[in-house]
Chains A and B, each alone.
Chain A
Amino acid sequence: SQKIEQNSEALNIQEGKTATLTCNYTNYSPAYLQWYRQDPGRGPVFLLLIRENEKEKRKERLKVTFDTTLKQSLFHITASQPADSATYLCALIPNSSGDKLTFGTGTRLAVRP
Chain B
Amino acid sequence: DTAVSQTPKYLVTQMGNDKSIKCEQNLGHDTMYWYKQDSKKFLKIMFSYNNKELIINETVPNRFSPKSPDKAHLNLHINSLELGDSAVYFCASTTRGKNIQYFGAGTRLSVL
Contacts and interface: CB of A to CB of B under 8 A. Distances in A.
15 contacts: A34-B99, A34-B100, A43-B106, A44-B101, A46-B101, A49-B99, A49-B100, A93-B99, A99-B31, A100-B45, A100-B56, A101-B45, A101-B101, A103-B44, A106-B41
Contact of A105 (B41, B48, B102, B103): B41
Interface of A: 32, 34, 41-46, 49, 87, 89, 93, 98-103, 105-106
Contacts of B102: 46
B104 A43 contact: yes
A3 B96 CA distance: 24
Contacts of A42: 105-106
Interface string B79-112: 0000000000010101011011111111000000
B103 A32 contact: no
Given A43-B104, A99-B31, A105 B99 contact: no
Given A41-B105, A42-B106, A44-B103, A103 B43 contact: yes
Nearest to B50: A99
A103 B99 CA distance: 13
Given A34-B99, A93-B99, A100-B48, A41 B106 contact: yes
Contacts of B45: 100-102
The listed residue with most B CB atoms (<10 A of its CB), out of A44, A99, A102, is A99
The listed residue with most A CB atoms (<10 A of its CB), out of B43, B90, B94, B102, is B43
